[in-house]
Structure 1
Amino acid sequence: MLFHIRHTLTYTYGRPVFLEPITLRLTPRQDASQRLLHHRLALLPAPSGLSQVLEPDGTDATVGWFDHTHQDLTIAMEALVETLRDNPFDWIITDPSARTVPAAYSPDLACSLAPCLVSAEVEPTVAAWARTRAEEAGGDTGAFLMRLADHIHHGFAHIGRLDGDPFSPAETLRERRGACRDTAMLYVAACRAVGLAARFVSGYSMHHPPEVSEHELHAWAEVYLPGAGWRGYDPSLGLAVADGHVALAATPDHRLAAPVSGHFRGTGATSEMRYDLAVRAAASLEDLGPGAAGAWSSPLFP
């Protein structure tokens, strides 16, 4: 599957402000499930400097900094991505101790996965709920992961919520509602509660819940399975992730998956954010249309 993505974010401030260094996580990752064919990123006004960095979790990020005050900032990204995994179940679990939940990893693997295994912060209500889902799945890891995604998809109301941090997993569970980032956080917490390493993913999807009327930045979860690696599960859609998703960042802490991180300085200044996102998916470049094939010769900014 080919994805043509155009994502623009515009920040407007009530008065000129000084922009602190900004981190952009708007470069689709490259791995066994997706390949980045074209990518460009631009800022207006142009920053004083840009640096490409590799973050601790492997995310390709861009850091920009500014020398002067500004009253607005626009960030534009365009990407052409090929997704490669048409079968989300093309795996086996090679470690018997991870085939059932509660799961266990070998000591060396558990050390590497430690940030994604932290369960001390999982609320008791969420842990109990996760154990119930595991019992319903007969303790089978694969069945648990799908049952958990399906349970959230069918049992929770899905809402569009553009701003703010994710709700706590306990709040999402109690209210039985949330945006994709809320249900992703609940899924991650439930997996950790039964010993599975899980992390938060930000990116794009060709699908969206019917309650969401337009494309938004999407969020889902990934779980580490020995022999299978990191595998995606989307609780807002109730499915295992295949070639219908494009990942930007995957991290134990949702804050490090934010597409834009940064601060500004300006006494009494207010800020407003607007975004425009267009996601098109097709089986071939021709099916994407002439806009995708010829887009790279046109400027990102008018």
Structure 2
Amino acid sequence: MWFNSPTEQLSIQVLSQVTTSDDNPFNYLLEPWATTVPFDYPSSLLRQLQPYLQPYSFIPDSKALELAQEILSATQGNTVDYIFALNQLIYQDCEYITRETGKPYPAGITWERKQGSCRDFTVLFMEVCRAVGIAARFVSGYQEGDRNQQSRDLHAWVEIYLPGAGWRGYDPTLGLVVSDRHIPLAASAIPSYTAPIEGLVTPVKSGEIVTSNMNSHISIN
């Protein structure tokens, strides 16, 4: 969106009606070669998944690698057990904090501090999956939560590619396997590409502080 003259306010309203139906997140069978990690991908599939296998910071995170090895040893490389153990470990061992702005923290920082926002936990989950060759991507959207709450913030979780099952969601913030209680808006190998709105603004008056606000209302039937 472009403006020919300065404007002091921009308001974007989006109205959507969504029907969800995937109430069983376990309705799949893995490919026989994907029951243990790391996977020995067919070359054609590996090329397609390559963006989702690269480290978030393009440099392998040592703490994420260490955590991956610990879980790998504890689960004996069983794919489903590995993913479930990782999801529960982040949920149980890390404290959730509200962080309305800023990029996700690197995985090692989140795990060392044992606290973070939903986007921090998602990046941590992604890195630990990618460390053992499981393709993972960042998802932003909304989660049902308490049906009676008046407002909801944008939420983040991870989707991993399980051969035979396709992309499957896990929510380490809530310790859940994603089903029909999550509404995805965008998914990407790179977290910054999942923002619902992006762009640059310049103050109309020099020295003026630019502020932004995002309000969401979800009605669940």
Common fold: TM-score over 0.5: yes
Q: Distance in 1 between matches of 2:53 and 2:176?
A: 22
In structure 2, the partner of 1:275 is 214
Matched, 1:114 2:53: no
Q: Distance in 2 between matches of 1:158 and 1:214?
A: 18
Q: Using a 3 Å threshold, how does the CA distance of structure 1 residues 175 and 94 change in structure 2: closer, same or farther?
A: same
What secondary structure, in the 3-state scheme, does the structure 1 residue paired with 2:207 have?
coil
Q: Distance in 2 between matches of 1:158 and 1:171?
A: 14
Matched, 1:225 2:198: no
Q: Distance in 2 between matches of 1:226 and 1:278?
A: 36
Does the CA-based 8 Å contact 2:63-2:107 persist in structure 1? no
In structure 2, the partner of 1:263 is 200
In structure 1, the partner of 2:75 is 137
Q: Percent identity?
A: 36
User: TM-score of the superposition, structure 1-length normalised?
Assistant: 0.68
**Structure 2 segments unaligned to the other structure (5+ residues):** none
Q: Distance in 1 between matches of 2:88 and 2:151?
A: 22
What secondary structure, in the 3-state scheme, does the structure 2 residue paired with 1:281 have?
coil
Structure number having the greater helix percentage: 2
In structure 1, the partner of 2:190 is 253
Matched, 1:170 2:108: yes
Counterpart residue type for residue 280 of structure 1: S
In structure 1, the partner of 2:6 is 69
In structure 2, the partner of 1:48 is none
Q: Structure 2 residue aligned with 1:99, among 20, 35, 52? A: 35
What secondary structure, in the 3-state scheme, does the structure 2 residue paired with 1:78 have?
coil
Q: Distance in 2 between matches of 1:126 and 1:245?
A: 26
Matching of residues 13-162 of structure 1 within 5 Å = 64-96=1-33, 98-119=34-55, 120-162=58-100
User: TM-score of the superposition, structure 2-length normalised?
Assistant: 0.91
Count, aligned residues: 215
Does the CA-based 8 Å contact 1:188-1:199 persist in structure 2? yes
Q: Distance in 2 between matches of 1:164 and 1:82?
A: 31
Deviations 1:187-234 (A, max 9, x none): 0111000100000000000027xxxx9621000000001111100000
Q: Distance in 2 between matches of 1:198 and 1:104?
A: 16
Greater RCO structure (CA 8 Å; 6+ sep) = 1
CA RMSD across the alignment: 1.8
Does the CA-based 8 Å contact 2:151-2:215 persist in structure 1? no
**Structure 1 segments unaligned to the other structure (5+ residues):** 1-63, 283-302
What secondary structure, in the 3-state scheme, does the structure 1 residue paired with 2:215 have?
strand
Matched, 1:206 2:120: no
Q: Distance in 1 between matches of 2:218 and 2:117?
A: 19
